[in-house]
Structure 1
């Protein structure tokens, strides 16, 4: 079964917007998107994301443009827990299954769907390959997702990383509806 979405979020943390074209097929996700922001400085981001089975990131291609220039990053996961950035090994994120683009509501979807945490009780902690924007540097990030409740449209999940906490509303397909202080959906079901 294939489910397609075109979603736009107002990204309050970056004072911008993100639109993503998303295709969910079985336990894989493909997405391409663009974000424009004014914080921390004016920039735009363009990305293409592909996962393998069980929503494990396979590849993220991301481009950033700022007032001082542009950069690109190709982040690859080998399917066995090892990562490279533009061909260079990233041992700090070995073992991670997911990438996470800073200030993007899209990349919270993969770990959530893998374990159904938007619809069923549970708590999981994951290591992610977190991509800072607009500089496109990759950092390890431990993230915890805790199912709080089912809702009419999907579920409420607490996201935690370090001292940061937010109760995020997801739809039944595991896509962000409202991420307090980060983003809220403007279009889509």
Structure 2
């Protein structure tokens, strides 16, 4: 179990990660008590042996409504997105990763898949992004670049147009500190 606490806003994210035979399964909850649009969310995610997202289910609840979306990537690289009104198919420019706005857990996925916490590299990636709390889905481009690697982890620069942050990750590639957003609560 890992938990992150928001730095600037009242926010908690807690996740149970199971890693077995190169696969990953994450089950988590988020509580965001922001003054503008407070919500809580839950998610389930599976990552295949190659580090590519297999499927995910996200649910959000606000004062006004509940929403859900499921996303899944077929073996031939097609994404299936379902908001409960039928499944849409899209290749999303070959994206292999999912990012959920404001969820620290998902930021670790490309870092782990590409081994950036072990060996220096830089990648610009197409990523399927899910926004919270509305759960809209779109394609974005994200860049991940290794800044430094040590026995205690690594620093990875994460950037999208208009935003950049140097993430501190542990030896397993999981985010410890996301400056200005959240930091992991020590066990």
TM over 0.5: yes
Normalising by structure 1, what TM-score?
0.91
Unaligned runs of 5+ in 2: none
Residue 31 of structure 2 corresponds to 36
Residue 16 of structure 1 corresponds to 11
For residues 102-152 of structure 1, the C-alpha deviation after alignment (integer angstroms, 9 at most, x for no partner) is: 101111222111221012111011111100000011111111110011245
Matches within 5 A, 1:65-144: 65-86=61-82, 87-91=86-90, 93-144=92-143
Residue 56 of structure 1 corresponds to 52
Residue 159 of structure 1 corresponds to 158
Verify the 8 A CA contact 1:13 1:103 in the aligned structure 2: no
Residue 3 of structure 1 corresponds to none
For residues 57-87 of structure 1, the C-alpha deviation after alignment (integer angstroms, 9 at most, x for no partner) is: 1111011000001011111111322112115
* Offset, 1:170: 0.4
Runs of 4+ aligned residues of structure 1 deviating over 4 Å after TM superposition are none
| Change beyond 3 A, Cα 1:110–1:166 | same
Q: Structure 1: how far apart are the matches of 2:78 and 2:131?
A: 19
Unaligned runs of 5+ in 1: 1-5
Aligned residues: 183
Verify the 8 A CA contact 2:130 2:136 in the aligned structure 1: yes
Q: Structure 2: how far apart are the matches of 1:163 and 1:176?
A: 21
